[in-house]
Structure 1
Amino acid sequence: MATGTEHRHNVGGVRAPGRAAITAAHLRTDRWWLAPAGTAAGLLAFVVYSTWRAFANADYYASPYVSPFYSPCLAHDCQSMRGGPNADLLGSWWGISPAVIILVFPLGFRLTCYYYRKAYYRGFWASPPACAVAEPHRGYTGETRFPLILQNLHRYFFYAALLVAGVLTYDTALTFRDAHHQWGHMGLGTLVFLANIALIWSYTLSCHSCRHIVGGQLKHFSRHPVRYRAWRFVGRLNARHMQLAWASLLGVALADLYVYLLASGVFDDPRFF
């Protein structure tokens, strides 16, 4: 992040006085734009889908499955789910889809995630779009001004994401029940939810903030063997943070889509036992 003298030198971008007088926008000959274009397309597709599902306010419960977009269901509208999880903490005054209450936290966690910052900075804001390709902006303020200064809330969104992951773990346990809430059953949706929660926990724990919280402030690992082992485990996950980010994003969308298809009557959930 540029500050002080460095920031003043960056005002005016690559065409500022004192910068190399290169007329071409870049000297790369490969298809460098494919990566940011693919990133933008993938994120945009998820934004469109999640927005549609969040405001649909329907087809988000098919016993025993509740969409991860709507859980925990805190609004009065959730009473229509016929035995589904319903906390009803907000009462009947909340007239918008209950998913809007919940998605703020996991989306806030992802928006402030270090990997996703790089992804949408390059894919949408071209800051910069690729290595050795200049960004088309006059100046550079980094994350020192609104709205990017809100990226500093990432650690707090991480705590909220832990709570949401805990609730989704509970929802996954409930998928071992049948439509009559009897335990000892398993369907295809159970496997979908198991895969989803495994990816969500892997992505959440691979967060850079998690790695720092677990062992980033330790001066002597030998005095904290448990935290050291936890730090190494999180570090191995952190090395796959990008892959886990995309896999968990796809997983949560597929879990919601599966519930939508069941709830809308497209097909019945195959039960194994």
Structure 2
Amino acid sequence: MSAPTTATGRARLSVRTLRTDRWWLPPLVTFLALLAFVIYGVIRAFMNRWYWVPEYHYLAPFYSPCLSDSCVPGSSHWGRWLPDLAPWIPPPIYVLPFVLGFRLTCYYYRKAYYRSFWASPPACAVTEPHRRYTGETRFPLIMQNVHRYFFYAALIVAAVLTYDTVIAFHGARGGVGVGLGTVLMVVNVVLLWSYTLSCHSCRHLVGGRINHFSKHPVRYWLWTKATWLNARHMLLAWSSLVSVAVVDLYVMLVASGAFPDPRLIN
């Protein structure tokens, strides 16, 4: 028998990685995409106008629900029971923290911005520039543990946006109407529900703490559906993010008079 090998620690390399592919491209694309959304979101939130189209009942998702006294007439479907803090503080300030909290603490997005913004690490088999690693045990990253609570807030927001989509089936001359904006809002709410229900917290909520699935057939069925969605969590995270921005931009352009909403019915 050969003598046991004594471990001497990790292999020390003189280069950052031995990878020869373009490993830096995915984190760069992710960085640019997330940065573009953040810039658009900040500008749009503080624009504080062009978020309501009364003719078709289109409400921009960045301003839903609109609960402030400063909301334009007709856009407050749930009442205006929150004060107008200041002219430079827009109505989304009441809701966006919960929406952003759900996205920022999402398991996929954590991986995405850890790699693209902090290079922690930038890619597999690529060393990170940080000397120490503390994980998510210190402030502010310890706040990632509240993701499950942001999930409940995301359910409420998704339900509100569903209501916004239902009332968007409004014709310019009354009755039922369908325009391009209506179609975009339907696609957006479907993607938002799919992303929200594909959350790891949702999967644990419907199927966790069960020792025998055979004794809980309903929860097992829900767990299989959540698991199917969860396997597509990254795709749904990006597609829902894009759809929110597209619908918000579309409503802004229609409300500003840049172009009329193409009507399919009425």
Q: Fold conserved (TM > 0.5)?
A: yes
* TM superposition shift of 1:85: 2.8
1:34-183 maps to which residues of 2 (within 5 A)? Answer: 34-63=25-54, 64-78=57-71, 80-82=72-74, 85=77, 87-95=79-87, 96-179=89-172, 182-183=174-175
Aligned equivalent of 2:204, options 208, 212, 234: 212
Alignment-derived partner of residue 3 in structure 2:
none
- The percentage of aligned residue pairs carrying the same residue is 60
1:163-219: CA deviation from partner (whole Å, max 9, x where unpaired): 000000000000111246x33211111100000000000000000000000002111
Unaligned runs of 5+ residues in structure 1 are: 1-16
**Distance in 2 (alpha carbons) for counterparts of 1:21 and 1:45:** 38
Q: Give the whole-Å Cα distance in 1 for the aligned partners of 2:202 and 2:126.
A: 32
Q: Which runs of structure 1 show a deviation greater than 4 angstroms over 4 or more consecutive aligned residues? A: none
Pair 1:184–1:146, CA change in 2 (3 A): same
Structure 1 range deviating more: 91-100 or 49-58: 91-100
C-alpha distance in structure 1 between counterparts of 2:228 and 2:78, whole Å: 37
Are 1:249 and 2:248 counterparts?
Answer: no
Task: Give TM-score scaled by structure 2 length.
Answer: 0.92
Unmatched tracts of structure 2, length 5 or more: 1-7
Kept in 1, the 8 Å contact 2:179–2:262? The answer is: yes
Residue type of the partner of 1:49?
Y
For the pair 1:30 / 2:32, whether they are aligned, the reply is: no
CA distance in 2, matches of 1:47, 1:271: 31
Instruction: Find the aligned partners of 1:51 and 1:173 in 2 and give their Cα distance.
Output: 27
Q: Is contact 1:188-1:272 (8 Å) kept?
A: yes
User: Counterpart in 2 of 1:202?
Assistant: 194
> Distance in 2 between the 1:169 and 1:94 partners?
29
1:81 Cα deviation from its structure 2 partner: 3.4
**How many residues are treated as equivalent by the alignment?**
255
Instruction: Answer yes or no: is 1:233 the counterpart of 2:225.
Output: yes
Instruction: Find the aligned partners of 1:50 and 1:88 in 2 and give their Cα distance.
Output: 23
